[in-house]
Amino acid sequence: MAPLNWAMGEYISLLASIHAGRVVDIPFIVRARYSNCVVPPASGQASVTISVNATTQPGQYLYITGSTDAHGNWNTDLGLPVDPANYPVWSNAVNLPASSSVQYKYYRKNADGSVTWESVSGGGNRTLNVPASGGAALDDTVGW
């Protein structure tokens, strides 16, 4: 019997994913960062959907960062990308610690790699009080 080639391995991964009802060969931390790989919340977490109205120019992308690991802990290289599929409304989903208070802020990465932070009314950051169970929804509008 010959060893598996790449195509056979991919076929086996596809069958395993179909059987499991989820993607099985992508690490959890990678799946959790993208809206097309929605991960159910683990015990002690609540699902938060993100919907943000923001205008950008070609070459600019929108992210959210904040006070949790899932948001990148204020590191703009680790922020959660939001999807422009329904531009100017960007969206994604994230699982956050249940019964917690989370600070967050949106920013855009420009084509040259520089970062522009949103202007929050009153200054500072936004706050989300994550529920103990179920989910929450962010419905924000960003001004630059």
In which region does residue 52 sit, left (phi positive, over 0), alpha (psi from -120 to 50) or beta (all else)? beta
- Residue 115 is predicted with a pLDDT of 96
* Predicted pLDDT at 122: 85
Burial category of 97 from C-beta neighbours within 10 Å (exposed 0-12, middle 13-18, buried 19 and up) = middle
* pLDDT by position in tens, the chain (length 144): 677 677 777 777 777 777 776 666 666 556 555 555 667 888 999 999 999 999 999 989 999 999 998 888 999 988 999 989 899 999 999 999 999 999 999 999 998 989 999 999 888 999 999 999 889 999 999 999
Confidence (pLDDT) at 121: 86
Give dist(CA 123, CA 117) in Å, integer. Answer: 11
Domains and CATH numbers, the chain: 1-31 (no CATH), 41-141 (2.60.40.10)
